[in-house]
Each structure stands twice: as C-alpha cells, then as structure tokens.
Amino acid sequence: MSSIRIIPCLDMIDGRVVKGKKFDNIGDVDNPEYLAQQYCKAGADEIVIYDITASIEKRKTDLESIIRATSNISIPFCIGGGISTIEDFENCIKAGASKVSINSVAVRNPNLIKDMSTKFGSEKVVLAMDVKKKNKGSWNVYLKGGKEDTGLDAIEWAKKGVKLGAGELVINSIDGDGTKEGYDIELLKKIKDSVNVPIVASGGAGKLEDFYNVIVSAKVDGVLAASVFHFGEIEIKDLKKYLKDRGIDVKL
C-alpha cells in the first residue's frame, strides 16, 4: 500500500482561488500561483486544480491561468473543470498535469471515460463525484455546482466509472463542503468497499482528527482539503507529523 496523499485543492474562478460552503457563498481567497508554491514547499503530495465554473459556463478550462499557477512547482497536479473532449484531456496533459479530472461530461457521456482511459491510461483518468445524501444509506450524484440532481446513485456510479476505466475517484461531499464538520465516512466506506481503485476523500475537513478518522475508518488513499489549508488553520507539515505519530504512512 502506498503512502496516504495530502492534497490541497485550488478551486478557481477568473484566475483566482475561491472557496465557498456547500457549493455556495463563494468568496475570493488568493493568487493560485502563490498558493501552489506555498503548498509545494509545505510538503503537499499533489495539488488538484478545478476551474469550477467552466462546465456551467460551457467553456474550455482556463489553462492559461493554471499553467501560470503551476509553472514553478515540482509536485504532481491534477486539472479539472471544463473537460468535455479527448482533445481537452490531451491539452491538460500537455499543460503538465499528471492526471485529469472529469465529472459532468462523464455523466453525460460515460463512454468518454473508456475512450480517455484507452488513449491515456486509466492512471491518468480521475472521476470526480459531487455527492449529496438522499436518505439513510443513499447518496445521489449532482452536477452544475451541486444544483442538478442526476438521479444517479453514487455507489452504482462509482462502480460503473471504474468499470469503464477511471483509475481514481475523488468523492466530494456537498453536505460537508466547507463545513469543517468531518468527511462523510459512511459514504466513503461504501465506495471503498465497492471498487478497487484509489479513493480520495473531499468535503468536510476541519481539524486534525477528521483526516485521521477518515483514513482509519474508510481506508481512503488520499485526503483533499481547501479551507483549512488556505486560511492557515492546519499546516501540512503539522498534519503529516500528527498522522505519522499515529501510525499512518505519510511522506514527511
């Protein structure tokens, strides 16, 4: 088993990093180039960069801003937002991404997962899922910034996505997004038990214990967070030491 990855997430609009709560009340945070460099120096294992309004605005990913932001970092990064064709995927790889995250287009055209996996390798295809709890033990997949309920069951969609060739899943809890009340461990456990690819937990990190609990309880392969890192509430080096001291395999 490889080390647990600590992954800061940069949500971008108009070339700036932003953050909201439950996909709403989005406010400006900082310059992405500055944050990416800081996270690289701080010991992040990789960075995920989402152009969060690209799909809603039906435009291509703002690769110019992303290339600027990542030009001086030495750790892997993943690009998402606005990927709708094989060419878009290829342009992200050419921009330096080690992986590309797809979400809306995968729901609209699942066979694209297979096509992208065949051409670029499953290890480069990340299926991102924005998920909201429906009722006890059931979650649905949402699009359009959490406003459109696809009706897809999250567990079934995860299984289908992996079967089609997704090499990693990022599971983002809309209910937990920006709340700092902990990851949705129940959901993550169910998905982890259903597929055989790496799972990254997203949505809800607020304190050191939240990271430890989801790693131990749901056996996730990576933990993604934004607010607690952006606003200096948790330093990555402190988080890694905390986890290491508790027997979690992380790269210091």
Active-site residue among 51, 130, 210, 221? 130
The closest of 39, 38, 52 to 5, measured between CA atoms, is: 39
Report yes or no: 31 and 66 within 8 Å, Cβ to Cβ. no
In the numeric block, which tokens belong to residue 42? Answer: 């701080």
The closest of 123, 91, 120, 85 to 106, measured between CA atoms, is: 85
The closest of 117, 110, 93, 103 to 52, measured between CA atoms, is: 103
Active-site residue among 11, 45, 62, 177? 11
Residue 245 falls in the annotated catalytic set: no
Residue 11 falls in the annotated catalytic set: yes
* CB burial of residue 230 (10 Å; 0-12, 13-18, 19+): buried
Q: What is the DSSP letter of 78?
A: E
Residue 240: what residue type? K
Residue 191: what residue type? I
Q: Please state, in angstroms and as integers, the Cα–Cα distance from residue 123 to each residue in 16, 41, 113, 196, following that order.
A: 28, 25, 12, 13
| Helix and strand counts by DSSP (H, E) for the chain | 10, 12
> How many C-alpha atoms does 27 have within 13 Å on its Cβ side?
7
For CA atoms 104, 130, 230, 211, the dihedral sign is negative
Q: Which residues are catalytic?
A: 11, 130
